[in-house]
Amino acid sequence: MNNEQIEIKMATAPQQLVEVALGALNQTYTPYSHFPVGAALLTDDDTIFKGVNIENVSFGLTNCAERTAIFSAIAAGYKQFKGLVIAGRTDEPIAPCGACRQVMVEFFEPDMPIWLINDTGKEIQTTIAALMPGSFNALK
């Protein structure tokens, strides 16, 4: 991840979101990549939705943790969000893929905090505006 392209802030991720995202690492279905990712999405009323990556042998059908959390929240009727934590068992904080970034553009306010973390305590705070500058969104 190129930190020059990501706006970095030093605010710490909410501990409850961190715990949910890190706990989700043990609930992934990753028999092919062995690359677990967990996510925790905070709604406007402080409900937390957990997401895990779920792989498929047809890799294009795999769903990332971030999208699992977002889609679960949308399916439950939520449309307003306050924060997202994405966790991985990586040397550096994990960054979302392009597909997840595009979904975030659709559903998140540009300045909503997103925390990228690893399982050893490293953390970066950013926003979808910083992760996806010049993004396409027909609704906004």
Positions marked active-site = 66
Q: Tell whether 64 is in a known binding site.
A: yes
Q: Distance between CA 45 and CA 48 in Å, rounded?
A: 9
Q: Tell whether 31 is in a known binding site.
A: no
Q: Distance between CA 109 and CA 140 in Å, rounded?
A: 10
Say if CB 107 and CB 134 are below 8 A apart. Answer: no
In three-state secondary structure terms, 99 is helix
Residue 87's beta-bridge partner residues?
A: 38, 117
Q: Tell whether 100 is in a known binding site.
A: yes
Known binding-site residues for Zn(2+) equal 64, 97, 100
